[in-house]
Structure 1
Amino acid sequence: MSKNNDITFTRPEFDAALSTWGKNRDVCSGPDAVKAAGHLHLPRLNPSDTSEANNQRNESYLARAVFYAIAANTKQGLQGMAFRRDPTLELPENNKMEYLKTNADGAGTSIYQQSQQSLESVLEVGRDGLYVDYAKEGNQAIILRYLAENIINWRTKRINGRNKLILVVLRECVEEEDGYGFKDVIQYRELRMEDHRFMVRVWRPTGEGKAQKYVAGEPYYPKPFGAEHWDEIPFIFIGAQDNNPDIDRAPLEALISINLGHYRNSADYEDSVHFCGQIQPWISGLSEEWRDWLEEKGVKFGSRNPMLLPPKGAMGMAQGQPNMIAKEAMDDKKAYMIALGARLIEQNGAVKTATQASGEQASGTSILGICCSNVSEAYTVAVMWCARYLGIKELDAINYAITKEFLPKGADANVINAIVAAWQSGAVPTLDMIRSLQKMDIIDPAADPAAILDILNTQGPNFLGDSNENDERAA
């Protein structure tokens, strides 16, 4: 069978990006993953020398290297900034999709947790994917997330003036019972537009070894509630630049490359420290007889082991001069990583004005803001597809949003007074006043403005205490 007719066919750009994605995943996972990859991320010393001695030296070279989890810490910091507030999920006024808040994928993962995982993947490799399916058992539409490495093939076509997906092939790993244990089986899910109808087909392996091939199961045609078929594939890519099928560069890619360079410098530095730190004893003035005698009897060092030497003999210790070139290269990369946004590598105790902090936030989080917008847009579309499966028509009421206010805003008393004065004069509606105070963290940002307004309307005045007490004080 031609490779082009094989369901396992992968697009050339996918193949080109796969090794980079693997490198990024390892670096963003931390030291254990990088060390487990062995010399994949650390060059071998004398690679043409396959002797046991050189193999042992390379193992020691790898073991002594220190990997600093700079990219991983930066990624976690960016995620923490994006999710310092819970994302907002706006749904139509019914409870048919409330389950998404606690179980979006049918396996117990909430939409909030799933979107965190998607943002993490976008930061690491610049790509993720969402597929919306229907689970008949619970009468629920579910959102399934796919890593970039499992979206192996796709194709688009210009239809009615816009590019539409007409094919997506997803790699899936499923567990099958194997006695008391289990085995992982790779299968492929084909999402295809066929005669303007959305069709799904699952390909399962048959045979073993070289004789193994994949056979397609019976196709089925999912359809939204009240419709004959889907006129699109309910799958959406999430990218670092936009949500089209093109592969984007990872936002952390530059930092990851410098982090690996820092790791290699660290390996050279630690190897140099080990080599230069070993003291080499030397002895001069020996005759051949004395040399042979010392070689036969051996030499002991220490304060309680006198060294017997012939007349005019001498003994001393030699130590290599420290090699600071690798250390200087590490320091240079450290400074560059700080400039790239790895602020967690060191604590900066400098006092900054609010204007300076705000300016640094704007420049440092603009890429993060784009990623959050892309994830928010993708999940909004996915929830709309869920609504179509369930027969919910109020699609305009659906919205999912991750906050782009990554740092708390300082509460300026003058600004608060101006907002309240404008509200009291009738220049600003009450709901706008509430939303403004929510943005400044004066009022809980997650609270419903309408609910807050209802509380304000029912609690009555409460400025100086109970009104009767105020009357008594006035008298």
Structure 2
Amino acid sequence: MPPNNPNDLPSTLSLAAAAYSSNLLLLLDCWNNLEGRERAYLPKETKEPSQAWADRIKRTTFDNRFEPAIKDYAGLLSVFSLNEDTAQSILGNQNNIDQMGNDLWTFFHEVDQYCLRDGWCGVMVEFPPVDPNINSQADLLESDRRPYLVLIDRRDILNWRTTKINGLPQLTRVTIRETRLEPEGEYGEKVAVYYRVLIPGEYFVFQIIETKGEEQLLLVEQGTTSLTEIPLVYYSDTESGLFSAKAPFLNLAKLNIEHFQKRSQLNEVLRKCNLPVPVRKGLISQAEDLKKVPPLVIGPNSVLDIPKDGDFYFAEPSGVAIAASREDLKDLEAAMDRMTLDFLTSGEHQKTATEVVLDSTKTSANLKGVARRKESAIQQIFKLWVAYTGEIEGGGITQDEDLLSMPLTPEQTGKLEDLQSQGLISHRTLLLLLQAGKVLPRQFDIDAEVAMTQQVQVKDEVLSE
């Protein structure tokens, strides 16, 4: 039987998801360079011919400032290390954390991009169905059956139910839309949409089938999990309220669209100014003359008859608005730069050291808050992971504390090397200072390097004797 109420279908959007859907569409359009969506932002003008509209759209390229800004910020957050108490099963699978070949750092770099673009996303900890051959935790750790992480786009988390436990909201149900490519015919394929409904300890997968104009709900899969909670973590770098974070760069996306529209307007003005209109005066004095006058032909091999007291010239637009339009575009670009990390390099004037430090301090403080939320979210993800494997501690990550600090300059590096060569600091201290100054990578093993250097020195001394 078809559902009597549309809200009984798992495809129903929550009120919060529906209210924010138009913003999410704009954000995704900017992220995708407006590909196939240009007409939505450069609408057809009144009485504008369809071909002229299409040509106008082709003449302006979207200058994407939104996507690079997101990736720049996400790149700053990608410098982190695993804590010493991280579970062995996570360490053992850190190079393929999602069963798609992505290591832990690559996976969370993409998660951060989704999160900064849309405000939040979901990370689900999946676990394959029970294998009857696994009888102990040791068997589980030795087998290929293990948890893995799945990134869930905010747009695919359609609705949810929560309850408060100890004053904190806890998920009691959530619906995730899944889009799958399935074979159709001998060589073709089709897109099929499924709805995964998660509740603590169980899951159901539905498909909505339309027959005779009615929607039928079909249960295609169901199963249980060993957890007492839903294995989905709300991941936000900006707000802790469950499914409530707004996109931090929404205004940047809107300005980027405005920039695209005004660039298009400027291009049209420039085009019209570069295409003057020929004007011939005196040949047509009444309506009947229109039928007698031959078509106007202009070229190196043509001549024009101009009647007495007539005239011929090209009418050119004045172009007064061009300078103002260009200044307006510069103002927009400056506003967009202020919303990104470009303040360190952009601007008409050279910034003083104090200005750079103040801007850097504000941004660094904001990024450190973002980093703390990331550490908390990943700790929750690891906790769900070990709830599946039975390990005691999930562990977590530690973000780079100096997110915006600049690496040591060659001059500073040289001074440290001089101190070491003069015997004022040890070789190990030099390496530690270079690592802290971002000259050496964070994962560089200083102890191993010192041990190797000492072995080489001993070998050289033996050979010299």
Tell me if TM exceeds 0.5. yes
Matched, 1:222 2:221: no
Q: 1:297 aligns with which of 294, 297, 322?
A: 294
Once the two structures are TM-superposed, the CA of residue 292 in structure 1 deviates from its matched residue by 4.1
Counterpart-to-counterpart distance in 1, 2:401 and 2:116: 16
Residue 171 (1) aligns with residue 164 (2): no
Aligned length: 443
CA gap 1:17/1:134 in 2 versus in 1, 3 angstroms: same
Superposed, 1:254-403 pairs within 5 Å as: 254-286=251-283, 292=289, 296-322=293-319, 323-324=321-322, 325-341=324-340, 343=342, 356-396=355-395, 398-399=396-397, 401=399
Worse-matched range after superposition: 440-449 or 453-462: 453-462
| Unmatched runs of 5 consecutive residues or more in structure 1 | 224-229
Per-residue CA deviations over 1:152-194 (Å, capped at 9, x if unaligned) read 112221113432111111110122221212111111111113x
Q: TM-score, normalised by structure 1?
A: 0.79
Distance of aligned partners of 1:385 and 1:184 in 2 relative to their CA distance in 1, 3 Å threshold: same
Name the CA distance, whole Å, in 2 between partners of 1:328 and 1:353.
Answer: 25
- In the TM superposition, what is the alpha-carbon distance from 1:205 to its structure 2 partner? 3.1
Contact 2:344/2:356 (<8 A) preserved: no
Deviation, 1:121, is 0.9
Query: Per-residue displacement from partner, 1:366-413 (whole Å, max 9, x unpaired)?
Result: 4444444433432332223222312221334x4364675245332657
Q: Distance in 2 between matches of 1:349 and 1:91?
A: 47
1:17 Cα deviation after fit: 0.9
Give the 5 Å matches for 1:134-153.
134-136=127-129, 138-153=144-159
1:114-166 CA-to-partner distances (Å, cap 9, x unmatched) read: 21111111121111101111125731101111000001112221113432111
Q: Secondary structure at the match of 1:212?
A: strand
Contact 1:280/1:319, CA 8 A, preserved across alignment: yes
Structure 2 CA distance, aligned partners of 1:354 and 1:287?
70
Equivalent residue number for residue 68 of structure 1: 63
The TM-score with structure 2 as length reference comes to 0.81
Cα shift at 1:38:
3.3
* CA spacing shift, 1:346–1:432, aligned 2, 3 Å: closer
User: Which of 22, 27, 32 matches 2:30?
Assistant: 27
- Find 2:124's aligned residue among 117, 128, 131: 131
Aligned partners of 2:445, 2:212: CA distance in 1, in Å?
A: 59
Which aligned pairs between 1:377-456 and structure 2 lie closer than 5 A? 377-396=376-395, 398-399=396-397, 401=399, 405-410=403-408, 412=412, 437-448=434-445, 451=448
CA deviations 1:274-329 (Å, max 9, x no partner) are 33332112222336599949954333223442322233332111111113243332
**Structure 1 Cα separation of the partners of residues 212 and 361 of structure 2:** 54
Aligned partner of 1:11 among 10, 14, 39:
14
User: How many Å apart are 1:415 and its aligned residue?
Assistant: 9.9
Assess if the C-alpha contact under 8 Å between 1:186 and 1:204 holds in 2.
yes
Q: Hey, what's the Cα distance between the residues in 2 that align with 1:290 and 1:10?
A: 63
Q: In 2, are the aligned partners of 1:82 and 1:403 still within 8 Å (CA)?
A: no
Aligned equivalents of 1:380 and 1:241: distance in 2?
16
- When residues 289 and 405 of structure 1 are mapped into structure 2, their CA distance, relative to the original with a 3 A threshold, is closer
Per the TM alignment, residue 70 of structure 1 is displaced from its structure 2 partner at its CA by: 1.5
Alignment check: 8 A CA contact 2:97 2:148 kept = yes
**Maintained 8 Å contact 2:125/2:385:** yes
Identity of aligned residues (%): 17
1:73: how far off?
2.5
User: 2:247 is matched with which residue?
Assistant: 250
Which 10-residue stretch deviates more, 283-292 or 169-178? 283-292
Instruction: Say which is worse superposed, 288-297 or 352-361, in terms of deviation.
Output: 288-297
Q: Give 2:188's aligned residue.
A: 181
Question: What is the correspondence of 1:47-196 to structure 2 with a 5 Å cutoff?
Answer: 53-83=48-78, 85=79, 87-90=80-83, 96-136=89-129, 138-179=144-185, 180-193=187-200
